[in-house]
Amino acid sequence: MTPGSATSMSWDVHGLTLTGLSWGDPAATPVLCLHGWMDNAASFAVLGPLLEDYYVVAPDLTGHGQSDRRSADATYQIWDDLPEVLGIVEALGWDQFNLVGHSRGAIIASLFAATFPERVKHLVMLDAVGPQPVAEDRFPEQMRKFLEDKGRLLARDNRVFPSVEAAVASRETAGLSAAAARLIAERNLSPCEGGCTWTMDPRLQGASAVKLTAGQVNATLGALVMPTLLLLAREGLGGRHSELESMARQSIPGLQLDNVPGGHHFHMESSAGAVAARVKEFMQT
């Protein structure tokens, strides 16, 4: 499904067809928006049109929405998305752009911005900061989880719902409003025998083979030398994990941080107008 005000997009990157949505004038200042885990480009269908005077592009990250899944031998670690994000940016012809990420997308955005700081004009992170570090001595345990999950999830089919309404209701139970759940769910569904099923790759639910250490996470956040705005949701991850704020304040130079009302998907809720105004104000600095 394409939300009414959006334009559908697609790119061929490294043999994968990646899809997305855009809002605004392609000649305007560019903004790339990266969605969260198990979401898709439609999670920016509320915020995107509110960012007037900008050209907003939101891809379906690989294995989400209408984008291709990766091959059976590939993985879904957060850095695996970086070559595809770079490929999309290159296809768009953007030398420099503003970068917005929500949840897992914010973590991927922080990695990209740390790697290519000269290309990211402003960085906005919504209810997430960087990867959660894992102690080095847990490496064997982490690798075992990954290996066990990979074989199990390769053989798993996604849940079948008797109707779109049932699928939307399943997303509402995770705390999404009915309107937000419908936007995300409808883009994540395809028809099948017995009703409809998720398009997402089940391997997205598996453990990563490797987790970054605390030193690597600090190095990543310390490399965010561009103006950086972090919006933490009071009823979202920001409210439940106070360490996110302290980690960001200690490690990110020139950080602006606001605690905002709403749940984890606050950029799709009633506060979206205020979020858009804050983001626009920040990107004009």
Structural domains in the chain plus CATH codes: 7-134+213-283 (3.40.50.1820)
State both tokens at 275: 């979020």
Give the span between the Cα atoms of 285 and 273, in whole angstroms. 19
Give the span between the Cα atoms of 185 and 166, in whole angstroms. 10
DSSP state of 133: P
How sure is the predictor about 46, in pLDDT bands with cuts at 50, 70 and 90? very high
- For residue 105, give the nearest of 130, 83, 70, 69 by alpha carbon: 130
Give the span between the Cα atoms of 136 and 118, in whole angstroms. 31
How sure is the predictor about 62, in pLDDT bands with cuts at 50, 70 and 90? very high
So what's the pLDDT on residue 63? 98
Angle between helices 104-115 and 82-92 (to 10 degrees): 70
Q: What is the sign, positive or negative, of the torsion defined by CA atoms of 169, 174, 176, 177?
A: positive
For 169, other C-beta atoms within 10 Å of its C-beta total: 15
So what's the pLDDT on residue 174? 76
41-50, 93-102, 169-178: range with lowest mean pLDDT = 169-178
Identified catalytic residue from 22, 43, 67, 103: 103
The mean pLDDT of 227-232, rounded to a whole number, is: 98
3-12, 54-63, 100-109: range with lowest mean pLDDT = 3-12
So what's the pLDDT on residue 239? 85
CB 68 within 8 A of CB 13: no
Query: Among this protein's residues, is 103 annotated catalytic?
Result: yes
CA atoms within 13 A on the CB side of 50: 19
Give the span between the Cα atoms of 79 and 49, in whole angstroms. 29
Residues 6+ apart with CB under 8 A from 282: 122, 124, 227, 229, 256
Give the span between the Cα atoms of 154 and 72, in whole angstroms. 7
So what's the pLDDT on residue 271? 92
So what's the pLDDT on residue 1? 60
C-alpha pair distances (Å), 277 with each of 229, 236, 267, 280, 281: 13, 20, 11, 5, 6
C-alpha pair distances (Å), 162 with each of 65, 169, 186, 199: 19, 12, 14, 15
Q: Percentage of residues in the chain with pLDDT exceeding 90?
A: 93
DSSP state of 25: -
Residues 6+ apart with CB under 8 A from 116: 86
21-25, 40-44, 234-238: range with lowest mean pLDDT = 234-238
Is residue 132's pLDDT more than 90?
no
Is residue 5's pLDDT more than 90?
no
CB 154 within 8 A of CB 72: yes
